[in-house]
Amino acid sequence: MKKQIKSTKQKIFSDVKLFKEVRELILSARQAVVRNVDTIQVITNFEIGRRIIKVEQKGKKKADYGKALIKSLASKLTKEFGNGFSKRNVEYMRKLYLTYQGRERQIMQTLSAQFKKSIISSGKFQKTQTPSAKLQDSDEFSRMFTLSWSHYVFLIGLDDKKERDFYETESIDQNWSLRELKRQFNSSLYERLALSRDKEDVRKLAQRGQVITKPEDLLKEPYVLEFLGLDEHTKYSESDMESAVIDKLEHFLLELGKGFLFEARQKRFTFDEDHFFVDLVFYNRLLSCYVLIDLKIGKLTHQDLGQMQMYVNYFDRHVKTEKENPTVGIILCRKNREAIVEITLPKKSNIHAKEYRLYLPSKAALKRKLLGWTKDKELS
């Protein structure tokens, strides 16, 4: 009887394991198909843009000629292939090439390598194989244009190359939807991260995106919480704010950034018969540490800093393991007071006070602030 039960359990376990493996295989295959479709569409549009520029540059550089060329091409393509080839879309294709033409040589080299590979494998010249077909198995190429056409239509509208490269990198790394990309851009994520970094880290930010190697890499200046739906001109309590964060936890995690996992709300711990409560407890898997967040609706006080210091000390001494890194404390407040922070906390502290906004900040104002900050850094 026991053998029969054991055999039945093994069979059930095998069936479940098989289902999970097959399910993961199907999901991976579907994701790969979507990626390939996006890749082929973007490279096709890039090539269309390249050929438009090539025709324009044959001694006919007048603006009127270029407009007429695009209008005529869009009209003919729409008649044969339907939607997707409007005049505006064809203009985007032209601009895609102009924006990313620095990748042309790499793209052509990849195409050439794929073409030679197909000749060697077949032993004969394959006239029928198209660039799109050869690209389907090309990991090299997919790394050149990983996002969807809609993403690139948005990105080519950004004039600043550093900013554009940053948002492309982050969209790829974080698998942002177009909606998430637009939200991060509208919240001035690039400028807010840059204002929390030194000059060298700002350069890396543009080249590599947000790389998390130390607690300071998590920080933004300021945090933007417009998604909470709270009106800054209307009275609300810290409890109201905390409830709004929990209701919009997915959005809050997106704002916090990479590697955050939610653990608890109002985490209680008892010390010397007194109970204490941490507003929000997160874990950052990239830094292997706890991140404690306290929400303050007013200006920062030294009592707030002392309270967070106690929370951090407790987690470091009684919660974290030896393999985990020291706990990080972040106080989100309406008004930061840097002088209070400087005199209250030791110079090397894992506690940070940052302001939050309940509305999207002015991108122009943040750009001006970043420009002034950069100049000050260069002079110092």
Q: Where are the domains of the chain?
A: 2-155, 223-360
Pick among 1.10.3080.10, 3.40.1350.10, 3.40.228.10, 3.40.50.920: CATH of 223-360: 3.40.1350.10
Q: How confident is the model at residue 37, as a pLDDT?
A: 77
pTM equals 0.75
Token couple for 252: 């809050």
Is residue 97 within 8 A of residue 46, CB to CB? The reply is yes
**Residue 316 φ/ψ region, left for φ over 0, alpha for ψ in the -120 to 50 degree band, beta for the rest:** alpha
- Going residue by residue through the chain, which has 380 residues, state the pLDDT in tens, using 9 for 90 and above: 555 555 555 555 566 666 677 667 766 666 666 667 778 889 889 988 988 898 887 755 566 677 888 898 999 999 888 888 999 999 999 999 999 988 777 766 665 555 445 444 444 444 444 444 444 444 454 457 889 999 999 999 999 999 999 999 999 999 899 999 999 999 999 999 988 887 778 888 888 888 899 999 999 989 999 999 998 778 899 999 999 999 999 999 999 999 999 999 999 998 888 899 999 999 999 999 999 999 999 889 999 999 999 999 999 999 999 999 999 999 999 999 888 888 888 888 899 999 999 998 888 888 888 777 666 655 45
The phi, psi pair for 328, rounded to 5°, reads -110, 135
CA distance 35 to 283: 31
Q: How confident is the model at residue 119, as a pLDDT?
A: 42
Q: How confident is the model at residue 120, as a pLDDT?
A: 44
Q: How confident is the model at residue 312, as a pLDDT?
A: 96
Q: What is the pLDDT of residues 298-317, one digit of tens each?
A: 889 999 999 999 999 999 99
Q: What is the pLDDT of residues 125-170, one digit of tens each?
A: 444 444 444 444 444 544 578 899 999 999 999 999 999 999 999 9
What is the dihedral angle through the alpha carbons of 318, 319, 322, 326, rounded to the nearest 10 degrees? -100
Instruction: Give the pairing of strands 260-271 and 274-284.
Output: antiparallel
SS3 assignment, position 36? helix
Q: How confident is the model at residue 208, as a pLDDT?
A: 87
